């Protein structure tokens, strides 16, 4: 858990930040920008390597991405997440304390991240420390220690954090929404698990999961920043050529979204809540959708920027909320669309009604030339800062590996944005924005709002303090 706190209060929650938190892939992309040159190659053991030199500051980023995520957890929800976290807690070569001491000493940062499909170990450090850092990351990836005492300590912290997540509606509402859209498996998997599943996970489970999924044929090592490609490649070969493959297990495939013949309202009761936070939506698009860019431009108009329709109506005109937005979250095989906002308990219905009414404008009013031109300029203009640092570029190259796209996505972006017309916009809206049987998740004080929200669909109530995300 990473925390930064300031006595600071901003005009609104950064749209960029939300895009990063709420979505696996970036949505805004741009004009005249072409991706810096990079090399992609595959070692004999099928390990994929990406190298991109960026010399502005003397820093290097590594992003190791592995095609393994919570979908493969099976009935032990949280298994991949725990495996990945424990890979940081010591290697055959060094203890946890030795690694932490040595990384802190050189000011290096190391993080792990995973979702339903993928996992990542990423690090940022000074160029002069590249030999040391590459070695540590290699050891974490290939020869983790999986120490029993560290495992027990980590598990105990993880269990408390699962409870702590439930303190914040913002932190958990998305997991409830995916459960509602996909059910318990596939993209409905809860990445961090729950108290029951995590308690059942053993160190032996981690070792098996690691040897099954963390293999060179399933992995890419991305390096971006201030280094020399030739020397780097020699280093990487020396470190990773000896890493052996085994047979990969049968991969569990993600589930499709449920097909709904009615609207459902999942009401998550938080008895001390003073506001209601809600998501409204349904199935969205997969990452490889050929209309991905066009859809993101339309979403910019609906709820992807400050002057978007949703924010304009709910915040600027009505003063009901600090912010309202909409977003597509895309995975390899599917995705979700959702409208999201929050408002004080007493204006819950007013805010939901206004959000639904505003959403209907997509079909009733459509997108005019002027609005479309503004949105196109906006997504193009805001693109270059998204790929400014070696950290961002390393992340992009990692996404190319896991979602199987190439630099054409970046380099053709301007063309794709420019070719969107109001006629095509109409077609995009009809095809991709869910209109019927919308699904609702509300987190708030059930006692005060339950009866009032029955008009939106079939209400199912759960308690936020209940273990996990069981909504059946």
Q: How many CB atoms lie within 10 A of CB 106?
A: 12
Question: For residues 33 and 113, which CB has a smaller minimum distance to other proteins in the complex?
Answer: 33
H or E stretch covering 150: helix 148-165
Q: Which residues contact 381 (CB under 8 A, 6 or more apart)?
A: 30, 31
Question: For residues 146 and 378, which CB has a smaller minimum distance to other proteins in the complex?
Answer: 378
Q: Pick one of 381, 437, 447, 466: the residue that binds other proteins (CB under 8 A).
A: 381
Q: Which stretch binds other proteins (CB under 8 A): 62-70, 73-81, 101-109, 288-296?
A: 101-109
Q: Pick one of 226, 283, 399, 414: the residue that binds other proteins (CB under 8 A).
A: 226
Q: Pick one of 38, 125, 176, 240: the residue that binds other proteins (CB under 8 A).
A: 125
Q: Nearest 5°: CA angle at 39, between 45 and 386? A: 120
Under 8 Å between Cβ of 236 and 49: yes
Question: Which residues from 334-373 bind other proteins, rule CB under 8 A?
Answer: 342-344, 373
Q: Is 65 in the site for other proteins (CB under 8 A)?
A: no
Question: For residues 156 and 241, which CB has a smaller minimum distance to other proteins in the complex?
Answer: 156
Q: Which stretch binds other proteins (CB under 8 A): 52-60, 211-219, 286-294, 411-419?
A: 52-60
Q: Pick one of 92, 157, 415, 452: the residue that binds other proteins (CB under 8 A).
A: 157
Contacts with other proteins, 392-431, as mask; x by CB under 8 A = ----------------------------------------
* 158/165 Cα distance (integer angstroms): 10
For the bound state, the minimum distance from the C-beta of residue 310 to other proteins, rounded and expressed in Å, comes to 14
Question: Which residues from 171-190 bind other proteins, rule CB under 8 A?
Answer: 171
Q: How many CB atoms lie within 10 A of CB 284?
A: 23
Q: Is 463 in the site for other proteins (CB under 8 A)?
A: no
Q: Is 9 in the site for other proteins (CB under 8 A)?
A: yes
Q: Is 37 in the site for other proteins (CB under 8 A)?
A: no
* 212/393 Cα distance (integer angstroms): 29
* 96/84 Cα distance (integer angstroms): 14
Question: For residues 36 and 366, which CB has a smaller minimum distance to other proteins in the complex?
Answer: 36
Radius of gyration of the chain (CA): 23
For the bound state, the minimum distance from the C-beta of residue 395 to other proteins, rounded and expressed in Å, comes to 14
Bridge partners of 461, per DSSP, are: 267
Q: Is 291 in the site for other proteins (CB under 8 A)?
A: no
For the bound state, the minimum distance from the C-beta of residue 290 to other proteins, rounded and expressed in Å, comes to 25
Question: For residues 91 and 390, which CB has a smaller minimum distance to other proteins in the complex?
Answer: 390
Tokens standing for residue 340: 């999201």
Q: Is 168 in the site for other proteins (CB under 8 A)?
A: yes
Q: Pick the closest to residue 36 from 287, 224, 235, 222 (CA basis).
A: 224
Q: Which stretch binds other proteins (CB under 8 A): 50-58, 65-73, 186-194, 356-364?
A: 50-58
Rounded to whole angstroms, what are the CA distances from 271 to 172, 194, 202? 16, 21, 35
Rounded to whole angstroms, what are the CA distances from 46 to 110, 143, 443? 25, 18, 46
Q: Is 435 in the site for other proteins (CB under 8 A)?
A: no
* 452/265 Cα distance (integer angstroms): 12
Q: Pick one of 145, 166, 287, 338: the residue that binds other proteins (CB under 8 A).
A: 166
Under 8 Å between Cβ of 148 and 155: no
Binding-site size for other proteins (CB under 8 A) equals 84
Q: Is 107 in the site for other proteins (CB under 8 A)?
A: yes
> Which DSSP string corresponds to 383-425?
SGGGG-SHHHHHHHHHHHHHHT--THHHHTHHHHHHT--HHHH
Q: Pick one of 85, 122, 124, 299: the residue that binds other proteins (CB under 8 A).
A: 124
Q: Is 161 in the site for other proteins (CB under 8 A)?
A: yes
Q: Pick one of 5, 259, 261, 262: the residue that binds other proteins (CB under 8 A).
A: 5
Under 8 Å between Cβ of 117 and 331: yes
Under 8 Å between Cβ of 271 and 445: yes
How remote is the C-alpha of 258 from its chain's centroid? 21
For the bound state, the minimum distance from the C-beta of residue 115 to other proteins, rounded and expressed in Å, comes to 22
Q: Pick one of 19, 27, 49, 59: the residue that binds other proteins (CB under 8 A).
A: 59
Q: Pick one of 21, 41, 106, 467: the residue that binds other proteins (CB under 8 A).
A: 106
Question: Which residues from 253-272 bind other proteins, rule CB under 8 A?
Answer: 270-272
Under 8 Å between Cβ of 327 and 19: yes
Question: For residues 67 and 315, which CB has a smaller minimum distance to other proteins in the complex?
Answer: 315
Q: Is 385 in the site for other proteins (CB under 8 A)?
A: yes
Question: Which residues from 316-335 bind other proteins, rule CB under 8 A?
Answer: 316-322
* 303/285 Cα distance (integer angstroms): 16
Q: Pick the closest to residue 144 from 100, 206, 193, 101 (CA basis).
A: 206
């Amino acid at each position: 858990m990473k925390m930064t706190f300031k006595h600071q209060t901003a005009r609104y929650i950064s749209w960029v930040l939300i895009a990063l938190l709420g979505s696996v892939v970036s949505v805004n992309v741009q004009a005249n920008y072409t991706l810096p040159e990079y090399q992609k190659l595959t070692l004999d053991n099928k390990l994929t390597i990406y190298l991109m030199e960026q010399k502005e500051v003397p820093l290097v980023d590594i992003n190791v991405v592995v095609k393994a995520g919570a979908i493969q957890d099976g009935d032990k929800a949280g298994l991949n997440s725990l495996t990945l976290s424990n890979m940081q807690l010591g290697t055959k070569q060094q203890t946890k304390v030795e690694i932490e001491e040595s990384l802190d000493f050189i000011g290096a940062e190391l993080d792990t991240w995973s979702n339903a499909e993928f996992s990542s170990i990423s690090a940022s450090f000074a160029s002069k420390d590249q030999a040391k850092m590459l070695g540590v990351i290699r050891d974490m990836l290939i020869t983790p220690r999986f120490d029993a005492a560290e495992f027990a300590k980590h598990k105990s912290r993880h269990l408390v954090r699962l409870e702590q997540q439930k303190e914040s509606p913002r932190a958990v509402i998305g997991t409830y929404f995916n459960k509602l859209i996909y059910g318990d498996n596939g993209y409905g998997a809860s990445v961090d698990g729950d108290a029951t599943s995590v308690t059942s996970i053993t160190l032996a489970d981690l070792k098996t999961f690691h040897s099954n999924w963390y293999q060179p044929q399933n992995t890419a090592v991305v390096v971006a920043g201030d280094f020399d490609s030739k020397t780097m490649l020699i280093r990487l070969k020396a470190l990773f050529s000896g890493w052996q493959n085994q047979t990969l297990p049968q991969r569990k495939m993600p589930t499709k979204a449920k097909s709904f013949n009615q609207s459902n309202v999942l009401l998550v009761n938080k008895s001390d809540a003073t506001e209601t936070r809600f998501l409204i939506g349904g199935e969205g698009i997969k990452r490889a959708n050929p209309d991905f860019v066009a859809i993101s431009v339309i979403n910019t108009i609906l709820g992807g920027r400050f002057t978007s329709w949703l924010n304009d109506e709910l915040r600027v005109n009505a003063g009901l909320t600090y912010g309202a937005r909409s977003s597509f979250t895309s995975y390899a095989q599917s995705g979700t669309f959702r409208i999201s906002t929050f408002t004080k308990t007493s204006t819950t219905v007013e805010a939901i009604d206004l959000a639904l009414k505003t959403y209907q404008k997509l079909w009733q009013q459509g997108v005019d030339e002027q609005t479309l031109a503004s949105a196109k300029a906006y997504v193009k203009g805001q693109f270059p800062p998204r790929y400014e640092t070696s950290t961002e570029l390393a992340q992009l190259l990692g996404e190319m590996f896991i979602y199987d796209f190439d630099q054409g996505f970046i380099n053709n972006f301007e063309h794709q944005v420019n070719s969107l017309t109001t006629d095509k916009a109409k077609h995009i809206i009809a095809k991709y924005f869910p209109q019927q049987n919308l699904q609702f998740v509300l987190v708030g004080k059930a006692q005060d709002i339950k009866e009032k929200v029955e008009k939106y669909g079939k209400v199912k109530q759960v308690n936020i303090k209940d273990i996990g995300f069981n909504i059946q």
